[in-house]
């Protein structure tokens, strides 16, 4: 038995290390790791059993910043489909408005259990541990926020059925905003950051989140060194809601903005944006991005280095 455990652990380490090396190489060479890499990742599930914390630590050591963001905005149904925005970024930028989370689909091991709904939940004061966890490794990661557990204990069976449907199908039967829960969000992800459908009671929260995530990604990618050789991240101000609202027509059609394709000179930084259409399959979305990236972009988000302000330039 001991030999079997040691063998599993050794094989796990071997596969994870080479998987992350392969992922890093492909990501930086703009080769799609995901199409067959995701299938390879699933084959590790046997070896991951019982070693979740080890998998998480190995994965985080080799994590890369997603520098491509896809957005498809559906105002009528109050959701946004995205690629490239992860739970940690979402939670950090909207930390003041996220309450307790009722976990609809997950593999988090430290939640509390609600016997009425049979769902696990994470209270607001314990969210930090969930944010630090490897939610990408869960596969499916779905939740809805709520204000009071007493209200969760009063949820009718029909609502619980709707929540189960949300977590399983990642679509709504009816708009998923419940008076019982007073929820602001519903977060439905598969391979977090790869496919995310997020519902917003107030879409202004989406613009606020996006306005902080884009500069945050730029800051993580543009690392400078001080005179003493200490690495220092560049900081950029948030992009204002009014600036992002001018991109609404593009986002409603389905747009991709590429931080890895930015152009800059002494006075400004330009982030290109292309309209690529409505995609639920992110492999197809990435194919379309690769086909269109050499063509003139539809618009640019421009940062003026002197005034430290953001603007939009359109064709």
pLDDT, tens only, 171-192? 999 999 999 999 999 999 999 9
**Residue bearing the bigger pLDDT, 270 or 231:** 270
Q: Name the helix (H) or strand (E) containing 21.
A: helix 2-28
- Separation of alpha carbons 69 and 255, rounded Å: 8
User: How confident is the model at residue 228, as a pLDDT?
Assistant: 56
Q: In a 10 Å sphere around its CB, with 0-12 CB exposed, 13-18 middle and 19+ buried, how is residue 132 labelled?
A: exposed
User: How confident is the model at residue 234, as a pLDDT?
Assistant: 84
Q: What is the pLDDT of residues 9-55, one digit of tens each?
A: 555 555 544 544 444 444 343 334 444 444 444 334 333 333 333 33
- Contact 62/20 with Cβ under 8 angstroms? yes
- Separation of alpha carbons 231 and 226, rounded Å: 6
User: How confident is the model at residue 187, as a pLDDT?
Assistant: 99
Q: In a 10 Å sphere around its CB, with 0-12 CB exposed, 13-18 middle and 19+ buried, how is residue 181 labelled?
A: buried
User: How confident is the model at residue 77, as a pLDDT?
Assistant: 98
pLDDT surpasses 70 at 132: yes
Q: In a 10 Å sphere around its CB, with 0-12 CB exposed, 13-18 middle and 19+ buried, how is residue 136 labelled?
A: buried
User: How confident is the model at residue 312, as a pLDDT?
Assistant: 96
The DSSP letter of residue 311 is E
The pLDDT of 133-150, averaged and rounded, is 97
User: How confident is the model at residue 25, as a pLDDT?
Assistant: 44
Q: What is the pLDDT of residues 84-120, one digit of tens each?
A: 999 999 999 999 999 999 999 999 999 999 999 999 9
Q: In a 10 Å sphere around its CB, with 0-12 CB exposed, 13-18 middle and 19+ buried, how is residue 131 labelled?
A: middle
Q: What confidence tier does 58 reach under pLDDT thresholds 50, 70, 90?
A: very low
Q: Give the residue among 78, 52, 97, 84 at the shortest CA–CA distance from 192.
A: 84
pLDDT surpasses 90 at 221: no
Q: Give the residue among 105, 104, 143 at the shortest CA–CA distance from 124.
A: 143
User: How confident is the model at residue 230, as a pLDDT?
Assistant: 60
The reply to whether the predicted model has a pTM over 0.85 is no
Q: Give the residue among 171, 182, 110 at the shortest CA–CA distance from 142.
A: 171
Ramachandran region of residue 59, left (φ > 0), alpha (ψ -120 to 50) or beta? alpha
Q: What is the pLDDT of residues 247-304, one digit of tens each?
A: 999 999 999 999 999 999 999 999 999 999 999 999 999 999 999 999 999 999 999 9
- Contact 315/295 with Cβ under 8 angstroms? no
- Beta-carbon-side half-sphere exposure of residue 58 (alpha carbons within 13 Å): 18
- Contact 114/102 with Cβ under 8 angstroms? yes
């Amino acid at each position: 038995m001991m030999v079997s455990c040691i063998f599993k652990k050794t094989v796990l380490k071997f596969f994870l290390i080479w998987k992350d090396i392969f992922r890093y190489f492909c990501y930086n060479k703009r080769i799609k790791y995901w199409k067959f890499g995701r299938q390879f990742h699933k084959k590790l599930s046997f070896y991951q059993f019982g070693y979740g914390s080890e998998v998480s630590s190995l994965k985080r050591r080799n994590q890369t910043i997603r520098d491509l963001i896809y957005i498809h905005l559906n105002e009528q149904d109050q959701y946004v489909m995205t690629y490239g925005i992860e739970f940690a970024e979402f939670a950090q930028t909207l930390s003041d408005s996220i309450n307790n989370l009722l976990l609809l689909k997950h593999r988090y091991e430290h939640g509390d259990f609600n016997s009425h709904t049979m769902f696990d939940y994470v209270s607001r004061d314990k969210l930090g541990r969930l944010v630090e966890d490897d939610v990408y490794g869960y596969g499916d990661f779905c939740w809805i926020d709520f204000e009071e557990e007493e209200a969760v204990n009063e949820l009718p069976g029909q609502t619980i059925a709707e929540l189960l449907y949300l977590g399983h199908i990642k679509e709504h039967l009816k708009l998923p905003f419940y008076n019982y829960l007073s929820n602001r969000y519903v977060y439905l992800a598969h391979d977090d950051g790869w496919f995310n459908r997020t519902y917003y009671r107030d879409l202004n929260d989406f613009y606020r989140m996006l306005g902080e995530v884009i500069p945050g990604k730029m800051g993580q990618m543009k690392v400078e060194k001080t005179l003493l050789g200490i690495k220092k991240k560049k900081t950029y101000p948030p992009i204002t809601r009014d600036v992002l609202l001018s991109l609404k027509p593009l986002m409603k059609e389905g747009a991709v903005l590429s931080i890895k394709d930015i152009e800059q000179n002494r006075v400004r930084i330009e982030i290109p944006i292309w309209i690529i259409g409505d995609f639920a399959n992110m492999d197809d979305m990435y194919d379309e991005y690769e086909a269109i990236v050499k063509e003139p972009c539809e618009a640019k988000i421009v940062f003026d280095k002197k005034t430290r302000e953001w603007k939009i330039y359109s064709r």
